[in-house]
Structure 1
């Protein structure tokens, strides 16, 4: 479990948007998490992938899937993603922005509970190479904020080594939050 990514009081950053950016930043560092199949069915790597993330509509108890083009500049990404989330906050459509682009990966959130494992089964997912991240409810323990994180990867493109490296890079990013002030 990486530490929860807090927003320093003076940053004004949304923790949720910061988490999404941090994950997207690390995913975009590694070819194995940007893999896809080309039109001929051969392996290919996206130049860049973008985060698709769920937002919850409490009155209808429904989720919507939004996405935001990844921007390596945290401040620019934060402003754009925050605006997208605000614009679609009350929607009940699953994909209010239309069909997601092909070069997205998923970040979902289950902030009502903590967990030690989480698995999604994707119908016909033999060619779904994009990683899937699920965040849970963070908890305070021994003076630290901990955030459950489940990472699901396709074994054809990544294994334990790659996933462990991704988690360690994410942990390092969450430990040094100077980027939140960018």
Structure 2
């Protein structure tokens, strides 16, 4: 299961210290971009084993994010630092009235353990209504948002927040599957704060996520 240890950062010694100051104090900046993932191999492997795609997508995204400190930076008790792991906060869809509620599942680097926790949460909280399906008091401080618009093959998705508070975790959005011959693809959008994340980090995330999706037998069996 996940380790929620929080490690403080020193801006003077941190290699991104000046960049963090610049993009938080001088020019408050974030960015988002959309790429295309080839999900052919992963989708086929999941279907053969009767696993749902979305929790596998959430697990894969969280696994790669957790390998990079830049995606796990936050402020805790007015102190800048980073968590050992992120907890995915994701939507559950209510078919009857077309609304969503948010659910979170503690991360495990063992896919089947995370998948089991996901199913347990869906069973217990999936029919709860409201913004948060689980008790607000239990919401972990290390939650980041990962979601999906399975009805839309978008070319770009940009999330805008109008809250006036520091937030440095990435936000991830998947899209509709598109079949092209024997290949199946999906768009993925990532929104980040430039104070903690550059294009290089996003490039690494996308490449490593694609590699993980291309080798599902290493984590499914």
Q: Indicate yes or no: 2:52 matched with 1:14.
A: yes
Q: Distance in 1 between matches of 2:110 and 2:209?
A: 16
Residues 122-180 of structure 1: CA deviation (Å, up to 9, x unaligned): 12255110110001111112321101100001110001100010010000011111135
TM superposition shift of 1:7: 4.7
Question: Which residue is equivalent to 2:144?
Answer: 105
Change (3 A) 1:160 1:58: same
Paired residues of 1:57 and 1:91 also in contact (CA < 8 A): no
Q: How does 1:140-159 map to 2 (within 5 A)?
A: 140-159=179-198
CA deviation digits over 1:8-50, x for unaligned, max 9? Answer: 244222111110100010011000000001323x420111111
Contact 1:11 1:180 (C-alpha < 8 Å) held by counterparts: no
Whether the 8 Å contact between 1:33 and 1:158 is mirrored in structure 2 is: yes
Larger Rg: 2
Distance 1:63 1:102 in 2: 21
Alpha-carbon separation, structure 2, partners of 1:86 and 1:113: 27
CA separation of 1:25 and 1:131: change in aligned 2, threshold 3 A: same
Counterpart position of 1:129: 168
How much is the aligned-residue C-alpha RMSD, in angstroms?
A: 1.5
Number of aligned residue pairs: give it.
Answer: 181
Q: Does 1:3 align with 2:38?
A: yes
Aligned residue number for residue 76 of structure 2? 38
Structure 1: which 5+ runs fail to align?
none
Alpha carbons of structure 1 residues 77 and 7: separation in structure 2 relative to 1, 3 Å: farther
Give me the whole-angstrom Cα distance separating, in 2, the residues matched to 1:175 and 1:155.
Answer: 29
- Pair 1:62 & 2:99 matched: yes
Return the alpha-carbon distance in structure 2 between the equivalents of residues 126 and 132 of structure 1: 16
Runs of 4+ in structure 1 over 4 Å off: none
Cα 1:38/1:181, change in 2 over 3 Å? closer
How far is the alpha carbon of 1:88 from its aligned partner? 2.4
The alignment's TM-score, normalised by the length of structure 2, stands at 0.77
Unpaired segments ≥5 residues, structure 2: 1-35
